[in-house]
Amino acid sequence: MTALLEVAGLARAFGAVRAVGGVDFAVEDGEVFGVIGPNGSGKTTMFNCILGQLRPDAGRVRFGGAEITGARPLALARLGIGRTFQSLQVFGSLSARDNLIAAAQEYVGTLAGRLLAAPDAGLTGRAEALLARLNLAHVADKPAGSLSYGQQKLLDIGMAFMSGARLVFLDEPAAGVNPRIVGEMAAMLRALKAESGATFVVIEHNMDFVMGLCDRVMVMAEGKRIALGTPAEVRADPQVLEAYLGG
Amino acid sequence: MQEILQVTISGLATGAIYAMVAMGFTLLWQTTSTINFAQGEFVMLPAFLMLGGIVVLDLPLAVAFVGALLISAALLGAAFKRAIIDPMIRHGVLPLAIATIGLTLALKNGVKAIYGAEAHPFPHPFPVEIWRVLGVAFSSYDIAVIASVAAVVFALNRFLNGTMTGRSMQAVAQNPEAAVVLGIDVKRLILYTFVVNAALAAAAALLVTPVYLFKFDLGESLGLKAFYAAIIGGFNQMRGALVGGLIVGVLENLSAVYFAPAYKDAVALGLFVLVILFRPEGLLGREEARRV
Amino acid sequence: MTLPTLSRANVAALAFIVAMTAGLLAAPLFLKTYGVYLLSLWALNTVAAIGLNLTLGYAGQISLGQAAFLGIGAYAVAILMKAGVSFWLGLPAGVLLAFAVGLALGFPALRVQHHYLAFATLGFNALVFLVIRNEEWLTGGNFGIRVARPELLGHSLRSGIDYYHVCLAVLAVTALLVWLLLRSPWGRAFACLRDNPIRAESLGIDVRSYTLLAFAIGAACAGVAGAFLAPLVNFIDPSPFGLVPSIYLLLMVIIGGPGRFFGPFLGAAIVTLLPEWLRVADVWYLVIFGIFVVALMAFCPGGLLAVPEKVAAMRAARRSARGSAAGQAGARP
């Protein structure tokens, strides 16, 4: 397998606080790569530096061999990198179906062509299939803002897959989700993974969730990588135990 | 050279008045995210009240000013906050701004309906003489305006930095959530900022109306320029409003004399556009992080 | 599998359109010249407000400079007609100019939002007004320009009723085009821009281009309205293109209901026609109107078209409160 995403020496400080202090890792094509760490360990800041929401102070990011350091979110999306945000980010006034169509319509034809295209840009079929897969078919016509938290969360994740992204970043997909359905969420992600063939990078707090889902896990603490390996290796690492339990 | 100095000083006087109105604007924005489109009318109304006191009740200007200041503080400070801001703040920035547009219409046209659309003279609070120093002619009124504004700014600064209430007000303006945690009575202090804003506007009315004469649309361009001044200086800083106001006043006056009098009103706008394109946080402002 | 069916909402909208069209076509039978003129003015104000509703209501970009685009359309036509160019060539020129200037005005919107944008657009309007007033060699300044009514296929549109029909046709065509645009992928992209621009960008939606387009298309609508306004009034001077008219255009959108297709129709009717019916209130009319705006923002910031939903929601809330109270009462032994 080859590295789809390579991150080298990535760093970002806020004033005197080094939120991310030189992180290296590579994500193999086709794997599910987990990122865990205590609150404030720099996981989300690292995501935002890779995904163009923040400018890194130092370091390089390569995607499929091409340099993407500091690229804008739009450019990354066009390259086939999807993402979700830590907080819910759906288009509240659009229906659930329209949320999914919106997530893929810009990949169909040209900007000018879309003015004259069919209202659904030919995406209704794909949207319906994904809605069914997400168990959201019964609320397809409801405004996304009126759905339950769990439904919005699923929709939010679905949107990251709608355009056929090769690499999908998920920022805490299980956060705030009813503990009883966290297992369902993991199963859903595995199914989406199997169907889309996309590579995942997942930030998560919920240990069981990460350990059950990911092929490899990176552990961060205080802006640095302290461990990287299979879930079993990481779980046994004394440094990880210290970061989580000591302190 | 002497002429430039003259023009600059009278520009500073105009700018000082813009600055006073702009500082109030900044206060309201900081505490409640209110974009007060009626800010100019907050200057016009006390001017109208003072004129009413002088013409109808035959009061001396000083008494009329104190009366107008108190009514303004109650009506445009406390009542404005309670009746308009409080119930609407949960709807967000736009409905609140639109409501202040509605208020502008009501105030402006109410005064027009009562007092007509003509311009009325207004007494000067300070003597108007021409002083000559080393061949430079000054208007004593301009100097008095600059001195008055300086005194108000100094007093306000002492209040904000030197008293417990003032420091709490600043804490509220900078971070309302943290202020709550610190046990500050945020609601009461926000009310104070509204009262201070109304008082600043009333003071501006006393200084500006003799120059432009009283008319129902007195506040129209004043409110707009105060906003531009606030942005140019830096919207999240009182100091910014002060500097922005002075810059706008001086450049406006210089361009009226040396460049294009017909486009004098476009100076503030031009500066504003340059600032938002190249330094959106304002000349003295701090950068606010882009929220993700 | 799901064929487009005529839902109740669609039937209601269709019936409303038919009734409105019939009413508007029959109206001149009951009106004097001035009434027909006012309705023509309403139609053109609605066209400008539809444009602003696209920019503000659907794409979420605050613009307080809509009257400036009205002015750009009107003066382009007036100046070209004065130079001997046909109205029908001046019209596209004015609309294109408004579109181009709107595109340029969109650039500040890429840098700043909310209050900055509100005042940037307001300031832009002030600048256009100053240019119109000061550049007498081009615009006639405060003396204005006389504008004749155009001809259409050799038929003069001098009669008020003929021109009224033209204004209605302009409204119908604009409304139809904007409706088609709103249900195209562009309309969905505009809604994404309004709801959550950061998320939109992460989904490949080119927020930059769509923001500029939202401004430019909104401005072009005002350009159309302005181009037809000049011959309607027969004379243009700077006064209808200043800050106050811009505020009124904004209020048309807000009062009707931003982001609602028929909002501008209702809002323009209230702002254009109501003052004429309330002549008795005279100078106090605007005071009452101002208080009405404040009250509307306090009770129903979604505009008048949102009132039925608001009332229904309040009723439902009261019913459920009463229901639970009754339930508790019934549960008592």
Phi/psi for B113 (5° steps) reads -65, -40
Please give the interface size between B and C, counted as residue pairs whose CB atoms are below 8 Å apart: 118
Share the mean pLDDT of chain B: 88
Neighbours of chain B (3+ CB pairs under 8 A): A, C
Nearest beta carbon to residue C130 from set B35, B84, B265: B265
Phi/psi for A24 (5° steps) reads -120, 135
SS3 A62: strand
Closest CA to B43 of B71, B65, B72: B72
> When comparing pLDDT for B177 and C236, which is higher?
C236
Boundaries of every domain in chain A? 30-54+71-245
- Looking from the CA of A215 toward its CB, the CA atoms found within 13 Å total 13
Domain-located, residue C319: no
Chain A residues within an 8 Å CB radius of B287: none
Interface check for C273 against chain B (CB to CB < 8 A): the answer is: no
Domain-located, residue B29: yes
Angle at A127 between CA A123 and CA A131, to 5 degrees: 175
SS3 B216: coil
Q: What residue type is B159 in one-letter code?
A: F
Per-residue tens of pLDDT for chain A, all 247 residues: 578 999 999 999 988 888 999 999 999 999 999 999 888 889 999 999 999 999 999 999 999 989 999 899 999 999 999 999 988 899 999 999 999 999 999 998 889 889 988 888 889 999 999 999 999 999 999 999 999 998 999 999 999 999 889 999 999 988 888 888 888 888 889 999 998 889 999 998 888 888 889 999 999 988 999 999 999 898 888 888 887 765 4
Domain-located, residue B109: yes
d(CA C247, CA C244): 5
Task: Provide the residue range defining the domain that includes C270.
Answer: 31-279
Return the CATH number at C44. 1.10.3470
Task: Provide the residue range defining the domain that includes B126.
Answer: 24-220
Closest CA to B211 of B151, B121, B291: B121
Smallest CA–CA separation between B283 and chain C, in Å?
A: 15
Interface check for C230 against chain B (CB to CB < 8 A): the answer is: no
Containing H/E element for A32? strand A32-36
Interface check for B290 against chain A (CB to CB < 8 A): the answer is: yes
Q: Lowest mean pLDDT of B186-190, B241-245, C292-296, name the range.
A: B186-190
Count of the separate structural domains present in chain B? 1
Whether ipTM exceeds 0.90: yes
Count of the separate structural domains present in chain C? 1
d(CA C278, CA C332): 55
> When comparing pLDDT for A136 and B260, which is higher?
A136
Chain B residues within an 8 Å CB radius of C286: 105-106, 108-109
d(CA B222, CA B208): 10
* pTM for this model (two decimals): 0.90
Residue linked to tokens 């009226």: B256
Interface check for B88 against chain C (CB to CB < 8 A): the answer is: yes
Using the beta-carbon criterion (under 8 Å), do C199 and A121 form an inter-chain contact? no
SS3 A206: coil
Spatial contact of B218 and B44, defined as CB atoms under 8 Å apart: yes
Spatial contact of C147 and C78, defined as CB atoms under 8 Å apart: yes
Q: State the pLDDT at residue C36.
A: 94
d(CA A121, CA A137): 19
Using the beta-carbon criterion (under 8 Å), do B99 and C294 form an inter-chain contact? yes
Using the beta-carbon criterion (under 8 Å), do B269 and C251 form an inter-chain contact? no
Q: What is the pLDDT of residues B109-140, one digit of tens each?
A: 999 999 988 999 999 988 888 888 877 888 88
C331 pLDDT above the threshold of 80: no
- Looking from the CA of B7 toward its CB, the CA atoms found within 13 Å total 14
Across chain B, how many H-helices and E-strands are there? 13, 2
Domain-located, residue C310: no
The chain A residue lying nearest C188, using CA atoms, is A102
Interface check for A117 against chain C (CB to CB < 8 A): the answer is: yes
Q: Which of B288, B291, B292 to mutate to test the interface with A (most CBs of A within 10 A)?
A: B292
Smallest CA–CA separation between C80 and chain B, in Å?
A: 25
Considering only residues 56 to 115 of chain C, which have any Cβ-Cβ distance to chain B shorter than 8 Å?
A: 62, 107-108, 111-112, 114-115
DSSP bridge partners of A229: A217
Percent of chain B beyond pLDDT 90?
46
Domain-located, residue B234: no
Spatial contact of C111 and B278, defined as CB atoms under 8 Å apart: no
Domain-located, residue C288: no
Using the beta-carbon criterion (under 8 Å), do C189 and A115 form an inter-chain contact? no
Considering only residues 148 to 167 of chain A, which have any Cβ-Cβ distance to chain C shorter than 8 Å?
A: 159, 162-163
Q: State the pLDDT at residue C313.
A: 86
Closest CA to B8 of B226, B258, B280: B258
Strands of the sheet with A32-36, listed across from one edge: A81-83, A167-171, A199-203, A32-36, A216-221, A224-229
Chain B residues within an 8 Å CB radius of C134: 262-263
Domain-located, residue C317: no
Interface check for A93 against chain C (CB to CB < 8 A): the answer is: yes
Interface check for A124 against chain B (CB to CB < 8 A): the answer is: no
- Domain A30-54+71-245 falls under CATH 3.40.50.970: no
Chain C residues within an 8 Å CB radius of A116: 184
When pLDDT is cut at 50, 70 and 90, the band that residue C6 belongs to is: low
Going by C-beta distance under 8 Å and a sequence separation of 6 or more, which residues neighbour residue A93?
A143, A144, A145, C191, C194, C195, C259
Write the CA distances from B270 to A174, B263, B275, integer angstroms.
50, 10, 9
Interface check for B84 against chain C (CB to CB < 8 A): the answer is: yes
Angle at A75 between CA A69 and CA A79, to 5 degrees: 90
Q: What is the pLDDT of residues C91-127, one digit of tens each?
A: 999 999 999 999 998 887 787 766 778 888 888 898 9
Using the beta-carbon criterion (under 8 Å), do A82 and C186 form an inter-chain contact? no
C1 pLDDT above the threshold of 50: no
B77 pLDDT above the threshold of 50: yes
